[in-house]
Each structure stands twice: as structure tokens, then as C-alpha cells.
Amino acid sequence: MKTYKSTTLFASFMLGAALCGAGAAYAAKISISCGAVGQEYEFCKTGGEAWAKKTGNEINLVSTPNSATERLALYQQLLAAGAPDIDVFQIDVVWPGTLNNHFLDLAPFAKDAVKSHFPAIIQNNTIEGKLIAMPWFTDAGLLYYRKDLLEKHGAKPPQTWQELTDTAKKIQDAERAAGNDKMWGFVWQGRAYEGLTCNALEWVASYNGGTVVDKDGKITINNPQAAAAINTAAGWVKNISPEGVLNYTEEEARGVFQSGNAVFMRNWPYAWSLAQGPESAIKGKVGVSALPKGGADGRSAATLGGWQLAVSKYSKNKELSADLVMYLTSAEEQKRRAIKGAYNPTIESLYKDPEILAAAPFMGELYDTFVNAIARPSTPTGAKYNQASNEFWNAVYSVLSGKAKADASLAQLEASLKRMSRGGKW
């Protein structure tokens, strides 16, 4: 599978695709960008093909970088050029404020369908009164653990990060002594990219250290609780987490955990169905819980994730593209994805569906985790969110990699964000 990181490469690809499909002029061809983390691309493909069969049109899947940071850069390139090559864009929950000028208002097509989705996500996707994207699936950070190893070593799922650190170290060392020298205690997403923002926000919020920038635009990150949270995470590297975790995205972490070489993993819900798959080394041995608290006075905090579908205003087939979006975000399609791929629905009623709960029990058990997930500060920072997030993840990364102390790094981050916000006016 290829990914396209430049307008030139992308244009060449689209030209080739157009030539190959020249004989099918009787049907409209709708292009949709799809991610490829885990089974994401395959589910996008099967859903799109079902719509194409139903409507008599064609679907063209465009693969994009797995990294959300790289994907956003590609989107900005294409949209700034007014390129009509992609009709439907898969966008992150934090991008509506950044990309809204390039997308169609979907409200006339959605009509009453919006009432079935979580109101907070609809609100997130509504910019200046315009519904610029429909919710496709939602996400929140979860803790995966090896049920068999915890039972073997007389441990329970950790309630605090210190408990996780201690349990991970104990089991890691015991399993290594028993012959598995590849065993690690905890894997997560430590590369300097948007995924690190998600992980680090969970650490900081769990220690009651705020959300980097509060809802009123005030910069709150430079505080002792936030520093303690990041110092805790830095202590994991080369102790219970491999040094290579500083280059892990979701899939690298899943690869280590699913091969049986980690006790704990922080990841999104999609990893559940893969860990339970027929080829998984840990099938039937995995538990899922809320992420640990920062301490006795802390809280369990999960970053809100999830992806939406938006229609480019440069599309030559706007109505058909909107129809595809409404099909892919429908209750029927979200149920299929939840059962087969563990993608969390954005339609509230599906969390009571017995078939979904049988396939992915954690969706019911951790319902509160999903509905109370912590939003990244994309609303108060608006169009500057990606820049602010970049500053945050780099500040955290410098601490994790041992290049800076948390206190100094957060003070420098605060100064950078103040310059960016012009004194709090984002």
C-alpha cells in the first residue's frame, strides 16, 4: 500500500487512476481518503464498496500517511491548491477548526440524523454554524493488559501510574528471568507527533495538571502537577519501556504487545479486535481498563480521539459525496465496524446493542471513559491548534529523551505558547 506525501506524486496517481477507469464513464467515481492504522483501510474499503454497489457508482480509495501529523500536512497542501482529486476526507477530531473553510456544510444532507450522534461531537464538528463533518467513529485512550500474566504473578490491573510502574517492573523482570528476554513492562506512543500529545495530555490531566490550554484560552501547562506527570513518564524509558518507544506510534506499540512481549499497552480501541484475532499470540489473554490515575488524588483521564468524514467544497460530485458520508456514518455501518473491528460508534444507542457488547465488552464496561474523554485544546486555539500541539509534543519529547528537565521545558513551552497566542488571544 502506498502513501502520498506530495501534490506531485498524488496528482500522478490520480491521473493513472483516471486513465484506468476511463471505460467506466457511466458511473461517477468518488474518491475517499482512508487511514491504514490496523484494519482501518480495509474497513473503509468494504464500506465504500457496499455503497458503490448500492448506488451503482464507483469508489476510489486514496491511502494517506498513518501519522496524523503527516496526513494533516498533505491535506493542507491539497486543499490549499483547490484540488478536486479527493471528494471525501477522513479528518481527525481536532481538525475542524483548521480545515473548515475547505469543506461543505453537511447539515442539509444529515437533517435529523445528527440527533442520534453524541451531541459533543456534533458540536465539535460545527464551525460558525456549519456542520463541516459527520462523526464516523470515536476514540479514547485505553490500558490493555495481559490477564494471564497478572494472574500468574498475583497482580491486579493498576489504579495509579505508580502501581502500573511497579507491576510492570515486577512482571517484566520475572518473565525475563524465566526466559523471555524481549519482555517489556509498558509500551505506548512516544514519537514526537500528535500521538504523543494524546498520551501526554492523559498523563498531565491524570495528575490534575490541566489541559495545556483551558477552555478560555489561558495557558495552564506550566505547573508542578504537569511536571510530575511528565517526569513519571520519563522514568519509564529504558526501565519498563524500551528506548525505542520514543519512536513508537500506535502500530509499533501494538506490534510489541500483540507479539506477547509487553505486559501493558496504552492504545486506542481498534487494537482490541486485532489482539483477539486468529493470528494473535495473545488471543484470549487480554484485558482492557481505564487508564491509571496520577495518584490517590488524581483521576483517570483518556484523551478524546476519533475521526470524521467531510466533503471537499472542490469536489465535482458534492451530492454523491455527501450521500457516501451519510452511508458510512449510518447506524448500520457503524454497527458493522464496531462488531468486526472494535471501532467505537458515535451513535449513542449502539452502546446498548447486545451484538456489539458481545464482540467488544469494554464498550459497555468503559462507557463513561468514552463519553467523558478529555478534549485536546483545539477549540480555544482554533486554527493554531496544530502549531500549539507541535510545541507541546516537542517539549514533552525533550524530557522523555533526557535532553531537558520537565520544569524548564514546561516554562519554555509556556513562553512559546504565549508568543503564539499574543497574550492569550488565539
Q: In one letter, which amino acid is 266? A: R
pLDDT digits (tens, 9 = 90+) for 394-423: 999 999 999 999 999 999 999 999 999 986
- Confidence (pLDDT) at 22: 40
How does pLDDT run across 189-218, given as a tens digit for each residue? Answer: 999 999 999 999 999 999 999 999 999 999
Q: Measure the CA–CA gap between 262 and 369, rounded to whole angstroms.
A: 23
Name every residue whose Cβ is closer than 8 Å to that of residue 89 and which is 6 or more positions away in sequence: 32, 33, 75, 99, 103, 309, 310, 311, 312
pLDDT of 27: 85
Q: Return the half-sphere exposure (C-beta side, CA atoms, 13 A cut-off) of residue 410.
A: 24
Angle at 367 between CA 113 and CA 337, to 5 degrees: 55
- CATH code linked to domain 142-303+375-421: 3.40.190.10
109: left (phi over 0), alpha (psi -120 to 50) or beta: alpha
Which helix (H) or strand (E) segment is 60 a member of?
Answer: strand 58-63
With beta carbons less than 8 A apart as the criterion, state whether 366 and 291 touch. no
Give Cβ neighbours of residue 31 (< 8 Å, ≥ 6 apart): 14, 59, 60, 61, 62, 85, 86, 87, 88
Task: Map residue 49 onto helix, strand or coil.
Answer: helix
Taking the domains of the chain in order of start, what are their residue ranges?
7-132+305-371, 142-303+375-421
Give the residue-averaged pLDDT of 320-338.
Answer: 98
Q: 176-188 pLDDT, tens per residue?
A: 999 999 999 999 9
137 φ, ψ (degrees, to nearest 5)? -155, 150
pLDDT of residue 42: 96
137: β partners: 307
Q: What cell numbers appear for 203 in the block?
A: 498523563
For the beta carbon of residue 365, count every other beta carbon within 10 angstroms: 13
pLDDT tens column, 83-97 = 999 999 999 999 999
Query: Percent of the chain at pLDDT above 70?
Result: 93
Query: Could you give the CA distance from residue 282 to residue 146 in angstroms, rounded to a whole number?
Result: 8
Residue 425 banded pLDDT, cuts 50, 70, 90: confident
Q: Is the pTM of this model over 0.75?
A: yes
Q: Which three cell numbers stand for residue 333?
A: 455501518
Domains 7-132+305-371 and 142-303+375-421 share a fold: yes
**Residue recorded with cell 442539509:** 108
pLDDT digits (tens, 9 = 90+) for 252-262: 999 999 999 99
User: 7-132+305-371 falls under which CATH superfamily?
Assistant: Periplasmic binding protein-like II (3.40.190.10)
43 neighbors 50 (Cβ within 8 angstroms): no
Q: Look up residue 67 and give its three cell numbers.
A: 501519522
The model's confidence at residue 424, banded by pLDDT at 50, 70 and 90, is low
For residue 357, what is its C-alpha cell? 457488547
pLDDT category of residue 26 using cuts at 50, 70 and 90: low
Whether the CB-CB separation of 315 and 307 falls below 8 Å is answered with no
* Cα within 13 Å of Cα(199), Cβ side: 31
pLDDT digits (tens, 9 = 90+) for 37-64: 999 999 999 999 999 999 999 999 999 9
Q: Long-range pairs for 296-299 at CB < 8 Å and ≥24 separation?
A: 296/160, 297/208, 298/160, 298/206, 298/207, 298/208, 299/205, 299/206, 299/208
Compute, in degrees rounded to 10, the torsion defined by CA atoms 176, 251, 351, 138.
140
pLDDT at 9 over 60: no
Residue 4: the pLDDT is: 44
Query: Which pLDDT tens digit goes with each residue over 271-285?
Result: 999 999 999 999 999
Instruction: List pLDDT tens digits, range 129-181.
Output: 999 999 999 999 999 999 999 999 999 999 999 999 999 999 999 999 999 99
What's the chain's average pLDDT? Answer: 93
C-alpha cell at 321: 459525496
Task: List the beta strands (DSSP E) in 78-165.
Answer: 88-92, 126-127, 130-131, 134-140, 142-146
Distance CA 193, CA 312 (A): 25
Residue 15 pLDDT greater than 80, yes or no: no
DSSP H or E stretch at residue 332: helix 331-341
